[in-house]
Structure 1
Amino acid sequence: MKKRFNIFELEKYELPLYKPCQYKVYYGGRDGTKSTIFAKALLRLSFEKKCTIVCCREYFGDLELSVFKNFKEIIDEVDEYKPFFKILSTHIVNIKSKSEIHFKGLRDINSNSIKSVQGIDYIWIEEGAYITNYTWTDLDPTIRKSGSEIWITMNPKHETDFMYNEFIRNGKEKYGDRLILQKLSWRNNKYLSEESYFKIKQMQANDFDKYVHVYEGECLRNSDESVFKKEFFIIEDFEEPQGIHPYFGLDFGWTDASAGIRCYIKNQNLYITHEFKKSHVSVDILGEEISKVLKDYEKNGKYEITCDSSSPSLIDLLNRMGYPAKAAFKGKGSIEAGITYIKTFNKCYVNPRCTEFIKEVYNLKYEKDKYSGQIKDKIIDKNNHLVDCWRYALEDCFKNRFTVQFEYKNVLSNSVWV
């Protein structure tokens, strides 16, 4: 049987755990190996010096149901570790460095307070999504030793949850360079079992909303606010037929990533085959970078890419460098018009590699009146770069399908879209 834990090889997403940083937050969906790589990292770090490590959750409960089992599994399997760790009934000791790993509940009435543990170097908060504002406000100032770090793993649940807003939504703005934020999914798990893979594929095919929440690590969504119904999307591998006409869309960015998409239409269904999303790509190499990812889009090729029209100079530069590009038509209500056209199709099939696109369409919402709570017809224009690309890509189909004047005003009340 192949061993699951290689303490001498690190994946790219593990490396930040070994760099000093006050807050480290890893989040995502089920089977993303977050707990395993945290336990692996803390065991390695326990050799560097004598340190105190505390692993905790809101309510502790049974030791065997906590991350204690992750540490124990690694120690039991890694031969190099066995002589150096002593597993006791309540904690683990590194015999060589005298480091100790403790397991606590933050709000258990019968557990010892975190404050009773002196000189904490690392504290790992598991199931971080359930930590309340009250608990965090009490805990954060307690970890004050010079060089100490707070590590958090969480599977997001609701957008209103305190820890989701504190770190995932607002963390970079609030904590800056003191925060490492990393998202993982089941794709990062190279030891994923066949049974787990089967369950993932079943959920992908049968329940889009549940799949995106459970395995992609997105928050549960309010279906009334959602632009697309879960039945519209089918996430699966599909074989592309010969002779299809691909459509391409591009949204320019810099710090906020440039985005591109490739799609096609068959039998009144949409197919999303490839996505491009990358930050800090200079426009002089943007065409080349896109052509590496979006199949069939080539220098001096026969297919054009329809671009965000707010940057005509960038479109002109792409053309001068040999990458066919044209401007999308933009105007008031253009987002709603494009999305309404897209919703006239039966289904949208999405290749599983298009993870950012899946995230965007899952989170695309209508605005809500702040006083009445009533859902409006206007779509929230935020974090939707690939959705914009999708609209741009299909614009010619949109205009060719309907003979009415291409106007966006009050498009949702126009009977042609019903």
Structure 2
Amino acid sequence: MTTKEIEKLNNITKELSLKSLIGGGYKEFFFDKHFYRVIKGSRGSKKSKTIALNHIYRLLIYEWSNILVVRRHSNTLRQSCYTELKWAIAQLGVNDYFKCNPSLPEITYIPTGQKILFRGLDDPLKITSIAVETGILAFVWIEECYEIESAEKLETLAESIRGKYDNSEVFRQITLSFNPWSEKHWLKREFFDEETQKKNVSSYTTNYRVNEWLDQETIDRYEDLYRTNPKRARVVCDGDWGIADGLVFENFREAEMTADELKGYKPIQGIDYGWSNDPTAFISAYVNEKEKKLYVSDEFYQTHLKTEDIANLIKGKGYQDDLIMSEVDGRLINELFDCGIRRMQQVVKDKVVVGIVELQNYEIIINPKCSEFLVEINNYTWKKEKLSDRYLGQPIDAYNHLIDALRYAMTSLHVGVSLDIRESLF
């Protein structure tokens, strides 16, 4: 770059007016330097556009910084965060200094070679092996972070931006943004509850009222929601915690049951296999068909479990002699048999909705220690058509590993019928 070009860029950053770019409500957030900067908010609260402007601004003034942008699924990045960051570049008037590659996607700041990289958590190896040519990977933005199933997956990301750098002004930060989700989600526990939140955290809640550029029609629609659906207005308008919209199951509660209370209940077990992105999920429950009650009593839920690890967990919980209804995987079932788990029966995975309907006929009581199942059932929702906001007749393909295991377990109630009939149901 020429001296004249450098001076022009310096003038741009000096003359930036936050008020004119993003309006009010975000000054503290914009300059926050905590390691975790977490923001939840209602629709129309301009949080994504503010974060995009903030990261382009940082790339301009911190020549040592590079940025990683993450979502649960890589194919959602191009139409969301990538587009927002291109918009921010245009807003700042610095298009000539950036090269945008939509096919990767990737954004490069031409004067220094600093990068904005985009990755999905559906490819964890690409997350852990990220390297940059100039400076350091200093900032991570995780958009719609409620899609991430566990705090452990976030920790893996955090490891990618730790390390030493010989510059006193350097700081690192993970920004998490999302629309409010179920109060049972791990995000609330990790970042918003004072008793359990991580260290070095700043958390924010915002709403549509700080967005000066919302049109009146949109504002009227939000405000009318207080009249027509006050419960939903808390989430959509106020950015508050609530129950996930469109829950598949609403027939559940959290409680413990004693051995005396479980007299007349039948024990059932089920397992759904995974490896890296998806966990291996095992569930144990008790069913009272007459009273239509189901008690979820025990679980395990872990990634990277080898066959011997699975067998040891089953044995450690004392279920090795019980009938376990299993996802179809002949090789794994044979290996588990050799490890001493010898009462497993395969159940095919399709026709999910039929299994859901059966579970909806029961009151589901959940032992509080089954924390992963509580997260799933509080976040397992019906798919929604994007344009019309209409619910579809299929659930989302997320928050369903233990729920799938429970569907399999329920097929043990039909052991008296043929395997073909049982497989046709699920």
TM range (shorter): 0.3 to 0.5
Task: Return the TM-score normalized by structure 1.
Answer: 0.48
